[in-house]
Amino acid sequence: MKRPEEFPAGMEEALVPWEGSTSRRDFVKTSGLFVLGFSSVGFSGVGGIGRNGSGDPGEANPYPDPDYLQLDSWLVVHEDGTATFYVGKTDGGQGTGTAMRQMMCDELDLAYDRATLVMGRTDMTVDQGGSGGSDAIERDALAARRVAAEARRVLLELASERFEVPADELAVSEGVISVAAEPARTATYGQLIGGRRFDVALTGRNVNETTGLAAVKPVRELKIVGQSVPRYDIPAKVDGSLEWAVDVRLPGMVHARNVRPPFAGARLVSIDESSVRDIPGFIRVFREGNYVAVVCEREEQAIQAAESLALEWEQPETAPFPSSEDLFDYMRGATPVGAGTGTSPRPRVEGDPDAALAGAASVVEAGYDIPFQGHTAIGPAHAVADPSDGQMTVYTNDMKPYSHRTGIAEFLGMPPERVRVIWMEGPQLYGRTAADDAGFEAAYLARELGRPVRMQWMRHEETAWDTKGPAFAIDLRGGLDDAGNVVALDYRARIANYAHVGYNQADTVLIAQLMGIRPERPSPGGGRGPDEMYHIPNRREETRAVRFPLAFETPLRTGNLRDPNGPQTTFAGESFIDEMAAAANADPVEFRLRLLRGTTEDDATFRRARSIAVVEAAAEAFGWEPRPSPREPGDGPILTGRGISYGYRVQTAVATVAEVEVDRESGRVWVKRMVCAHDCGLVINPDGLESTIQGNLLHGISRTLYEEVQFDGERVTSVDWRTHPTLTHRDAPEQIDVVIVNGDPNPDRPDLPHYGAGEPSHRTVPAAIANAIHDATGVRMRRIPLRPERVLAELTAAGA
């Protein structure tokens, strides 16, 4: 079928491997659709718009960084009046690209279908860091909007010169500029600048501040923003025509597979290469330190060789970590790493929590346990690396292609300008591909072999060795006064986040660690309490990291997992708020509103107003009847209940209500209905936002009900979908209602910002479900995941 989008076809052109003897100038001439883009963006004039603005770095530096201070790096108008936008972000399937294209089209005054958008190529798009932190819409799109607005301003200036009419007497509509008083006099964007460079410098101390002279449009003038434009990437994902990173095939390419240590911390003693030498297509075994990989001509041969390779490993004398059964006792009993450093910042204290607890009418105490959870991407890690002519091109779904490039360059000892990373679509990112090990491995093997190498991990490897969301053990104490008001809150968390991989660091990716490369000390991950806007006069928040004996080359290395730490800390925080509400015999919604309305005398007023708005909106949309929890339990085999949870992330406020059915006989929990009230400011694409929130909610249900990394004292024993289960079709809610809220105390201001939505709603899910189970059964579930056997055990113990 004919593709609805031109862009994928162009991407294929761009995938022609770079040849050292061919200048980029020639490449421009021969590469079809991209000719216009390249010729204008700088492939034919790199010296002029290079970062340093001098010389011709083309010869020495094959892949110079696109200069964010040049308009031409961001936006090209073609002769036919269409435009191509270049942004340094990636899209994990939440519609980031579509939304950014909407925003840039709006500022440029160009119809949405007259533009395409290129994302995440280090040689072509400015370094906006790739994806992470749900910041694309909140931060990076604002820079992109300003650049597109500047392009429009320059086009108006060009038209003003052509017509000899002041710019403010011109009108613009969908890429056509006309003289307001003489509508017959028109010029298209293509006529004004098509195929040529703007040559306009921008300003800004860093890429986030990039701006020209033009201001962005006030919200009321935005026409494409706010529409549910269909995602441009979906048709090619549905008809099978899209080329993904996993599909890249290059001439002479060979296939690689890793061989991982059978025990965490094992030392490789010897390899018997004769065990695989007779496998057809066998090329080589690579070994450096404890890193082992096999390379064969065909993919299934490489898989067979990896399975057949005979190795001798030596098990470490000390157990690398406790078993998952003993994890929480271990975490509570271990001496944490020093306070005030890395993962263990100093406690945050307000008021006098100890005195307030001592003087409280009643004190509530509870502990919550959240295990390690895997990313367990649906497609294991993969990349293709091409080492031809002394350069290195990596085709990857790494969500942060820029640090992937610098990390690989450092790892291989190559100058970064001889390395380029081309982001392509891949299985979900959610933080896993912020340090995509496979790209490093493919690049290493490709350089060693001198041929293009395709690496892909196997399922057992992905599940056991991917980066993990850290385990938490959280103990809370709360003090209530005679009237049931919260007077004190004491939050103390232990977090197993001592071997964090960071972003594509050359000394923390798995291949580096297995080779024996070490950072000076383990990379600390972050650790802080739940973000909420409750007014509680006396509180302490303390998060301290605990370490395991094995801190390097460990399968329990942690990495950012969607809304890092948010679901864990909010599970504890919002479950505990519910426990205090129950102790105060208060309705859970009313109890939260009381805490949010406690004061208006600080700078959190804006955040509190928006928090109140989402809690009220969620309760209203659900049809929440005020009463304390738990309800009177029913007699039948199915118990039903409702629970609410609220969270705040960066500048986005969310409240979620879950309605659950608990099967008394099996312990199975089904989240039948969810209502999510969501305030992320200005909404760019309502349907895209709803889809993103739905994904967040269901991913949250999966982590709440099923997901746990299991391990014994030797190795991770979660190796597939049976041993690290995930939500399935059977578990999908019957109804999900997303309520878009704008709780800004001044909702009509023209510059209403757009905040992030890729993660915030995720954190509200675990507590909403646990609170609903408590409402239904009177039983409080404090240990994630809420698998049927665990729920049944608690129900039986409580006689419920």
CA 156 to chain centre: 38
Give the SS3 label for residue 640. strand
Does 757 bind another protein (CB under 8 A)? Our answer is no
Does 251 bind another protein (CB under 8 A)? Our answer is no
Does 588 bind another protein (CB under 8 A)? Our answer is no
DSSP, residue by residue, 526-570: P----------SEEEEEEEE---S--SS-TT-B---SSTTHHHHH
The two structure tokens encoding residue 46: 């790199």
Does 5 bind another protein (CB under 8 A)? Our answer is no
Nearest approach, Cβ of residue 120 and another protein (Å): 14
Does 380 bind another protein (CB under 8 A)? Our answer is yes
Helix H or strand E encompassing 619: helix 605-622
Contacting another protein within 342-361 (CB under 8 A): none
The Cβ of residue 173 has, within 10 Å, a number of other Cβ atoms equal to 11
Does 239 bind another protein (CB under 8 A)? Our answer is yes
Report the residue number, 117 or 424, with the smaller CB distance to another protein: 424
| Site map (CB under 8 A) of another protein, residues 260-289, x = contact | --------------------x---------
Nearest approach, Cβ of residue 83 and another protein (Å): 24
Q: Work out whether strand 472-480 and strand 362-370 pair parallel, antiparallel, or are unpaired.
A: antiparallel
Report the residue number, 37 or 733, with the smaller CB distance to another protein: 733
What is the rounded distance in angstroms from the CA atom of residue 763 to the CA atom of residue 687? 21
The two structure tokens encoding residue 773: 């189970």
The two structure tokens encoding residue 511: 């291949």
Q: Which of 21, 168, 220, 238 binds another protein (CB under 8 A)?
A: 238
Specify the DSSP class assigned to residue 254.
E
Does 717 bind another protein (CB under 8 A)? Our answer is no
Nearest approach, Cβ of residue 443 and another protein (Å): 21
Stretch binding another protein (CB under 8 A), from 202-210, 374-382, 657-665, 748-756: 374-382
Does 687 bind another protein (CB under 8 A)? Our answer is yes
Which residue, 712, 703, 750, 761, is CA-closest to 731?
703
- CA torsion 645-649-652-658 (nearest 10°) is -20
Give the SS3 label for residue 694. helix
Does 469 bind another protein (CB under 8 A)? Our answer is no
Does 428 bind another protein (CB under 8 A)? Our answer is yes
Give the SS3 label for residue 776. helix
Nearest approach, Cβ of residue 720 and another protein (Å): 6
Answer whether 177's CB lies under 8 Å from 186's CB: yes
Q: Phi and psi for 468 in degrees, rounded to 5?
A: -110, 150
Does 800 bind another protein (CB under 8 A)? Our answer is no
Report the residue number, 463 or 523, with the smaller CB distance to another protein: 463
CA angle, corner 661, sides to 656 and 663, nearest 5? 145
Stretch binding another protein (CB under 8 A), from 241-249, 323-331, 551-559, 627-635: 241-249
Report the residue number, 91 or 107, with the smaller CB distance to another protein: 91
Count of helix runs (H) and strand runs (E) in the chain: 21, 26
Does 192 bind another protein (CB under 8 A)? Our answer is no
Q: Which of 10, 42, 92, 647 binds another protein (CB under 8 A)?
A: 92
Contacting another protein within 288-317 (CB under 8 A): 298-300, 303
Does 559 bind another protein (CB under 8 A)? Our answer is no
Report the residue number, 555 or 630, with the smaller CB distance to another protein: 555
DSSP H helical segments within 7-140, as ranges? 7-14, 24-30, 34-41, 46-49, 96-108
CA 677 to chain centre: 21
Nearest approach, Cβ of residue 469 and another protein (Å): 14
- Which residues have CB under 8 Å from 381's CB, separation 6+? 432, 433, 436, 437, 438, 455, 456, 457, 462, 466
Q: Which of 165, 207, 219, 234 binds another protein (CB under 8 A)?
A: 234
Per-residue buried b or exposed e for 232-256, using 16+ beta carbons within 10 Å of the residue's own CB: bbebbeeeeebbbbbebebeebbbb
What is the rounded distance in angstroms from the CA atom of residue 557 to the CA atom of residue 286? 24
Q: Which of 110, 266, 458, 660 binds another protein (CB under 8 A)?
A: 458
Nearest approach, Cβ of residue 241 and another protein (Å): 7
Does 710 bind another protein (CB under 8 A)? Our answer is no
Q: Phi and psi for 323 in degrees, rounded to 5?
A: -80, 160
Residues of the chain by 3-state class (helix, strand, coil), percent to 5:
35, 20, 45
Does 376 bind another protein (CB under 8 A)? Our answer is yes
Nearest approach, Cβ of residue 129 and another protein (Å): 20
Does 730 bind another protein (CB under 8 A)? Our answer is yes
DSSP, residue by residue, 232-252: TTHHHHHSS-PPPGGG---TT
Answer whether 506's CB lies under 8 Å from 456's CB: no
Nearest approach, Cβ of residue 127 and another protein (Å): 23
Nearest approach, Cβ of residue 564 and another protein (Å): 17
Nearest approach, Cβ of residue 726 and another protein (Å): 6
Does 241 bind another protein (CB under 8 A)? Our answer is yes
Report the residue number, 186 or 726, with the smaller CB distance to another protein: 726
User: Binding residues for another protein, per CB under 8 A?
Assistant: 1-2, 92-94, 230-231, 233-235, 237-244, 246-247, 249, 280, 298-300, 303, 376-380, 425-429, 456, 458-459, 687-688, 691-692, 694-695, 697-699, 701-702, 720-722, 726-734, 736
